Amino acid sequence: MLLACVLAVTLGGARPVAAAKQTPKPVTVVTLNLLHGLFCPPETDACQAPDRVQIFGELLESAGCPDLVGIQEVGPRLEDLLDATVPTLCKGSYEIAWAADSMPDRSMVLSRLPIVDQGPLDIANVPWEAYWVRARSPQGRVDFLTAHFASSSNNPPCTDALCPPACPGGISTNECHGIEVADFLRARRGAALTVVAGDLNATPGAPTVVHLRDAGFVDGWLAAGRAECEGSHRAGCTSGGTAPDPWVGMNTRAGAGFDERIDYVWVKPQRRCTLGVAAKGFAKKPRATALHGMWWPSDHAGVFAALRCT
């Protein structure tokens, strides 16, 4: 850090006075499951994906263009739309990082920070996926991993053929994903902040997130002093609801009615660091006016967090 000197004018003349240390700006991150739309009626263009991507872009810019953005459920239609839209956002400052393969449900990182390393993490079972980047930031190097863990629709128990040796046979694929991500990031060195951001399809206290906690990660939402998701207020809820059709409430002002928290920003600071976190919901409110009948970018809410290592 730089120690600045300023001149203080006194009756005896000017003398140098040490100013307070300047605190580097925090790293800002966002996660959102953007809904691939693979199960939407064909005539709806992935549940009006162009309109939903536009709303997503508006939200990123209104959030001040977060430094690192993790997106899950990037299907073929979203790939085309994001490739065209991202360069128009935030004065073209985002770099897209992801595995451009043929999987229907991929994870993508948008970064305004210089990326120094990156790659996919092939977690157990298809189509689940994680992607990570290491980026330079005012806080130091940041490892940022975004992931979509197994949902109830495809969450079989581990076998030798399905899961790596680190995952005991019989545990769920979803729990194995927590082990794999924790092990992968534990092996990496030199980051001031390590972040896991994504749709983990696990509620607080589930074995999957306990593996992250045991590996030294902190739940950013709770660390920021935010209320846990519960039926009386739903402030921290990011998913769920009872909408019965593929639109899952995105075409209504009321939305899906979130009633569980499965989308997270987990943070692990380096040993010499005191972690500071501020957090709020992302895509937690409908658009001010509907865009061609669409109020929401997705059937999930996300999380915005500002992270500081002091």
Q: What is the pLDDT of residues 44-89, one digit of tens each?
A: 999 999 999 999 999 999 999 999 999 999 999 999 999 999 999 9
Evaluate whether 72 touches 198 at the Cβ level (below 8 Å). yes
Residue 33's H or E segment, with its range, is: strand 27-33
- Average pLDDT for 185-214: 97
Residue 241, sorted as left (phi over 0), alpha (psi -120 to 50) or beta, turns out to be left
* pLDDT-above-70 percentage for the chain: 91
How many other CB atoms are found less than 10 A from the CB of residue 256? 21
In angstroms, the CA 197 to CA 201 distance is 12
- Average pLDDT for 221-245: 84
- Average pLDDT for 17-30: 77
Residues in the chain: 310
Q: Residue 3 is encoded by which pair of tokens?
A: 């120690």
Cα four-point dihedral sign 164, 151, 132, 221: negative
- Model pLDDT for residues 115-128, shown as the tens digit of each residue: 999 999 999 998 89
| Reported pTM | 0.91
- Average pLDDT for 242-260: 85
In angstroms, the CA 276 to CA 26 distance is 9
The model's confidence at residue 100, banded by pLDDT at 50, 70 and 90, is confident
Q: What is the distance, to the nearest Å, from the Cα of residue 294 to the centroid of all Cα atoms in its chain?
A: 23
In angstroms, the CA 82 to CA 60 distance is 13
Evaluate whether 173 touches 164 at the Cβ level (below 8 Å). no
Q: What is the distance, to the nearest Å, from the Cα of residue 71 to the centroid of all Cα atoms in its chain?
A: 7
The model's confidence at residue 272, banded by pLDDT at 50, 70 and 90, is confident
Quote the pLDDT of residue 233: 64
- Average pLDDT for 34-50: 95
Point out the least confidently predicted range of 16-25, 73-82, 228-237: 16-25
Mean pLDDT, rounded, of the chain: 91
Point out the least confidently predicted range of 79-83, 119-123, 164-168, 231-235: 231-235
Q: Residue 121 is encoded by which pair of tokens?
A: 């993490």
In angstroms, the CA 29 to CA 66 distance is 5
- Average pLDDT for 264-282: 95
Q: Residue 13 is encoded by which pair of tokens?
A: 């003349």
Q: Is the peptide bond before 127 cis (omega within 30 degrees of 0)?
A: yes
Quote the pLDDT of residue 186: 95
DSSP reduced 3-state for 137: strand
How many other CB atoms are found less than 10 A from the CB of residue 61? 11
Q: What is the distance, to the nearest Å, from the Cα of residue 296 to the centroid of all Cα atoms in its chain?
A: 17
DSSP reduced 3-state for 178: helix
Domains for the chain: give ranges and CATH numbers: 26-309 (3.60.10.10)
Higher pLDDT, 102 or 135: 135
Quote the pLDDT of residue 230: 86
* pLDDT-above-90 percentage for the chain: 80
| Distance between first and last Cα of the chain | 11
Higher pLDDT, 103 or 309: 309
Q: Is the pLDDT of residue 214 over 70?
A: yes
